[in-house]
Structure 1
Amino acid sequence: MAEGGEVETQTTIAGDQTEKSIDIDPRLIQCPICLEQLRHPKSLPCLHTFCKECLNIYITQEADKFATLFPCPVCRSETVPVDSKEKKENWAKQFPTNNFIIEVSKTNPPKYQQHECDPCKKRNVVNVAATVWWKEYNRFLCDTCLHKVQNAIDDDLTLIEVKSGQKFIPPIATTSIYNYCPKHKKEMDLFCEDHQSVCCSTCIAVTHRRCEEVTTLSEHGDKVRSSNQLQDMRSGLQNVAADMESLIELIKTQTKHLGDGKDDVLKLMTDLRKRIDARLDKLQRDITDEVVTTYKEEKQKRDDMLHKCERMSKGIRTTQALSESNFMDTDDMQMVSVLQRGNMEIKSCKEIITQISKSLTNVEMSLDCDDKLLVDEEALILGRVKVVRSLAEVPIKLPEKQLHSANVKEVAKLCIKTATDVNRCQATGLVYLPNGHIILTDKNNKKVKLFKENGELVDELTLKGKPWDLCMVDNNTVAVAMLNKNLISMIRMSSSKLSIIPGGDIEAGKQCDGITYKDGQFMVSTGYSSNRDIYSVMEGQEVNVLHTPSAKPYYLVYDPTTSDVIVSLHTDTEGDTVLYRLSSDGTTTEMAKVGLLKNGNGVDIDEEGNVYVCGRASNNVVQISCDGKIVRELVTSESVKEPFTISVSDHRFVLSSDASDISNYITIHELY
């Protein structure tokens, strides 16, 4: 192959320049790794130059076993070799030789640096010249200290004379690229307990300065090792690995059974073909197409499931091996990385197992045929393929979600105040997205904000007015009720960006507070207005008032199981209705009176039909089962104060508060 500069052609400097020394900055010809004058200089695409020997050692120690690139030792830019299929030991020589450095080096011969003896310097004895370099421990030694080391250690030592001209290149693997912050290029040696993330000093100063508990990575490592987190992760990995193996075997068995069924049907079809020669070609082609199409469709489904399971199983086995490695007791960074990776894999694996178990079906193919050799066009001569599907029995015990009787615990507390916020936050609207992101409206700061589940801010968008509630229109569109604008703003949401949809505003002409989306139209409440209405509105159509409640309706939610709209009312008068259903025909059904629940605020519904409503004055969150028979205080006043609004996603929900001392935070709770 043609290598990028293995032949080091050295162009001679013309004229009298070869006889003169060029006055240059010594750092220009200094290797950033060994800090000595460059020898056989190789330049990376980012234009940083290194000794070929230093770069080779760096690549072999830093590049992952299966990697096809490596980070530049200086700027951390991802660097791809000319031919990544070659061994990593050959990558360095593929990069072009810096002939300019070679020519400049000719006029600036290397000067050997005076090195002091490291043990003497540690004893505060300075200016003791070193005579050798101890490679294994990257230490410079004088003759006296060398004698002591040789007497104390029986192993062979790699000793290089200081004036030998060789390079003193310390081991590079002791500093992993994962210890450096990719944003600030600093070592990450701090840990934010609030966000459960490893940070550098700049991250702490800029992003986490309001966090309550920040420790060193070493202290967090000791804390993790002294707890059951590692053991719980290992146990979890072991359990899901066993479940995944069972699922893989089941899918393989089903695939084989599916193939056997296909073979049986085709064999029977071939036998019957002998009895019907006149229509054989057409009927055989029709039935074969149907069988093969069914087989391909069902097999493709199982191939996709199998690929997903095997890929997850491979990742789990890798994480299991890493969790048992020796570095878990010594390398805090790697330990935290493996811990977080393992917990994430446990969660993903459980989700995949549940998803596949619910969709995996047995497929039985048979041939419904008539033995009579009839020639009528409508006769069942060769037969018809019959496909019967039934839900597969998966040999894995899946958790039965009965959210109306589940326990609840707080699992995270996220700070939603950002660097540009002027006022205290007031999260008046929340949506907990299926991907774990949380989008919210901050009325006091006139913003819509998008956060990750770990508290990281993804993006924020400043609006020209005060937003109140919001709801999802589709996977990429959010509708925001603008409190003082009498309109609904449409916002496009990508994985990392929020943006106003030009011309997407819907003029309501009435106060917009609570909002939900139903059958192509928006259902809106007017809680702050003197006219307390529940109305529907669509783009280009007039407002249609559906109901006028007796108290302020700040929030409402659409129930897809009944097509009703559930409305909470802000009242604490004994005997008043605080929660009710509004049907499509305009009739209302009371769900709760003031009592356990006072001043109803945010309301949402889970996949089982259970309703969750915030009691702002009663300082609680109340859950009502889908049949209305179970009404319980899910979150009590001991753990919540002035709950504002709520959003449910699967077995978790996120909650905001209007209490001035905690309104800058939202909490995530889990039903288990």
Structure 2
Amino acid sequence: MASNFQSSIQRDFIHDFSCSPCGENGFNTEAHHYCSQCTEYYCQNCVSKHNGLYQKHAVLGRKDVNKWEAAPGVVDALESCGMHHGEALQLVCGDHDQLCCHVCIAVDHRQCSKIHPIPDVAKGIKRNIEFQRIPNKIAKLEKQFELMKEARMKNTTPLKKTRAAISDELKTIRKMINEILDKIEKTTLQDLDGMIAKLEKNINKDIETCNGMTVELQNMITAFQTKTKSSESKSYIAYRKSQNMISQANDHLRDISVIECYNVTFQANNLIEELLSSIKTFGAIEVQTGMTKQRKDPLSDPNHVFSVAEYKKYNVKMSDDKCQCVIQGVCEIPCGEFVITDTGNCKVKLLDKEYRVLDHWDVPGNPWDVCHIGGNEVAVCVCSKYADKEGLYFINSTKGKLVSTRKFTFSHRCIGAAHHGGQLYISSGTTLNVYTITGQKVLHQGKVNGTTVEKCAISNDGKTIYITNYDEHKLITLDNNGNKLALLTDPDMEKPTGVHVTPAGHVFVCSYNSGTVLQVDKDGKKKLATLAREENGMNGLSDLFFSSRTSSLIIGRQKDTLLAIKLI
């Protein structure tokens, strides 16, 4: 018993250098000698055996300890504890399969039962095949890192070329915008010059009239004074002609004095500034990595057909909501928060990543669609019986609060909106209108009566536009010039409302009457899958948005709950 206790004390004692042969036999003995040729440490007993076998080896004693492999009190980097620097690794915790120093044992592994000295578990390690393979594995890894470094160094040259090419492209875009602005300025100045020329012509005409009448009146007064000194007949003639002249002069004065002066004013087109200020960059800059072959990520694979992993519901009703929530629009902003429009309670609501209501903004009308503009800014379509309340309201999310910043008004209704490349796509219910810095154009015209153009979505490259035709149960696909590419109908698509396209080109459509969520091919020609039906709780669907962050479809409907469908 005493022997075991003494052995335990001996093993737990910490030495700056321990005897190597004793360590291999499970003993923790202080070393007093070091052989630089064997690179081993020896106690007094073991050094005599070493010297008997290797008489020509140079053995250093404690007086030359500074010439040993490590200086006194300094632990070799390989044997140093990563948690407690300067402490030597001397034990192994079998419970956690972890190398430990005595501080580790005292602090973190006090309750562990499988604590073993390293010399015990290290027996025979040099004969282990895996141990013998370590140098080759390290050499191979070192070679791979050298090759990787060379590849990375080579990569810097094409990156610089890419930077130069994109910079040239940006200059081309800037030049094009400058040309457009120059053209707008030229047209505006031409209109101004034409107007000024017309006004100057009117002014010169009035001046000529004044000059002409002044001369005639001077001649008349001279003639009148001369004739009145003659016979009464000549005086009468002078009187009558003077009367006519006075009447004519008064008529001219009355005509000229109607306009006291000409003032020209200028009303700037704020749409240009507002559109440009809403654009943060000339385009999206993305990193494309060349990767080794591996399983495709469904989010980046445009041909992937999704299936449903789970359905969840989240309550978005607020305590002061007087009516049932009617979620007409859903979108996500880069910070992971969601913005939804609640038409039932005339509110725009801000949700956190767990779909809890953080804040709301009271809308002066009925909010319908919502789309992301840039940063934490969204635009909300508002309909109202009061014309001055209708339009597109821009709202910022700042530190969990919603703040309205500006508003666009249109000559038509505004029930659906999308934004791409600095252009606004606005649905009126019967037309899809696109607004650019150069003005407005009608991209698509549906039937005048009813709702034949509800909502729209734009592909990531801006070349394809998807429109839901609510009344005629259709999904319409256009190119960016308004040419019709496809027309899709399906029994599972009755009264389609929301449409969304992911950056990879996956297209999703939800329908109000059929209570379905469909995945459609990127050409808009065929249904790929029916992801949810009315029996899954899909009823009264209004809008949907795919969150790449959670791989989930977030669906708004005429209920107090928001639906989240996890896709795989």
Larger radius of gyration: 2
Between 1 and 2, higher relative CO (CA 8 Å, sep ≥ 6) is seen in 2
Larger helix proportion of the pair: 2
TM-score normalised by L of structure 1: 0.40
